[in-house]
Amino acid sequence: SSSVMNISEHLSCPLGFGHYNAVDICILETVVIVLLTFLIIAGNLTVIFVFHCAPLLHHYTTSYFIQTMAYADLFVGVSCLVPTLSLLHYSTGVHESLTCQVFGYIISVLKSVSMACLACISVDRYLAITKPLSYNQLVTPCRLRICISLIWIYSCLIFLPSFFGWGKPGYHGDIFEWCATSWLTNAYFTGFIVCLLYAPAAFVICFTYFHIFKICRQHTKEISDRRARFPNHEGGAAGETGHSPDRRYAMVLFRITSVFYVLWLPYIMYFLLESSRVLENPALSFLTTWLAISNSFCNCVIYSLSNSVFRLGLRRLSETICSSCMCSKDRDVRDPKPRKRANSCSI
């Protein structure tokens, strides 16, 4: 109990519910952050390994963006080790301001990469459905790599003014005391981020998926009419199988995008309200922040549950790991290591 009290004295817990239950609140925060850190790192490492081990996933051009999101989410999990260690160990406060700024900047850049990748995925699916004949000429691996590089550069540049004193990049639920008391949000910088990142990405995603599902609905209607006119004609079934995979894959990506904005919408709303000095609530700040960060793990779950090719690759990866473990055990059973014998002379 003395160690818990010692930790609670040094922790800067953002949830301000009074001193009587400060220890419980700090422990709850620590458990939440440590659990999310572990899930994010483990989940995204699994996604990365499955993409490298499943050749069929590379047939989709969106696999470039999915892997980029997985790496960005993995770095989010690694970055979350910083507040985890700050909760478990006392910080001297010498470099607290720099640590806070760097951590907030890195988290904001990584989530900006995820948001931009989701927008690019929606554009990619839109081109695949609206321009199927010229899609391979429009979307090439070289252009995809250039697009991903531009995403990283743009995300790094858009949050760079925060280092020069122009507002906070958007990290709330502050674990560091300096972040909560000395680093305040700025309404103009928030508007700058919304206009150049949040709003364009949301508009592109809404526009593309609206037209994607509209076109898929038209195709489905045309196929149904054709099959009603020519019940014995095999062209309808062929056309149905031609458009069905694109629609199913678009639905998977739409679920990922929807969950992303559902988890991030409370964070963005609180970001706007706090920047306008309308609302300041430490508990709400902590909950919205880590709810948004939990999206880095939700992407893995949605993709593994929705994509059959990914599930197949995950099963093969698991079987390979299990078979290698079984082979090593069988080898140990067949060829046991000789035990050291005592010296007969000493006996």
Say what the pLDDT of residue 146 is: 93
% of residues, the chain, pLDDT over 70: 71
Q: To which CATH superfamily is domain 24-227+246-320 assigned?
A: Rhodopsin 7-helix transmembrane proteins (1.20.1070.10)
- pLDDT tens string 180-213: 777 777 888 888 888 998 889 889 988 888 888 8
Report whether 215 contacts 129 (CB < 8 A): yes
Q: How many residues does the chain have?
A: 347
- Do 66 and 303 contact (CB within 8 A), yes or no? yes
Contact between 121 and 253 under an 8 Å Cβ cutoff? The reply is: yes
Interval 45-61: pLDDT, tens: 888 888 777 665 666 67
Q: What is the DSSP letter of 55?
A: G
Which stretches of the chain drop beneath a pLDDT of 50?
1-12, 14-20, 90, 92, 234-243, 340-347
pLDDT confidence of residue 191? 85
Backbone angles phi, psi at 330, to 5 degrees: -65, -35
Cα 289 off chain centre by: 14
Average pLDDT, the chain: 74
**What is the pTM (predicted TM-score) of this model?**
0.74
> What is the chain's percent helix, strand, coil content, to nearest 5?
80, 0, 20
334 is written with which tokens?
């067949």
The CA-atom distances, in angstroms, between 196 and each of 39, 157, 277 are 31, 11, 22
Residue extents of the structural domains in the chain: 24-227+246-320
DSSP per-residue letters across 115-159: HHHHHHHHHHHHHHHH-TTTHHHHS-HHHHHHHHHHHHHHHHHHT
**Burial level of 9, CB count in 10 A (0-12/13-18/19+)?**
exposed
CA separation for the pair 257, 118 (Å, rounded): 6
Please tell me the distance from the alpha carbon of residue 50 to that of residue 73, in angstroms, as a whole number: 15
Question: At a CB cut-off of 8 Å and minimum separation 6, what does 210 contact?
Answer: none
Q: Which amino acid is at 212?
A: I
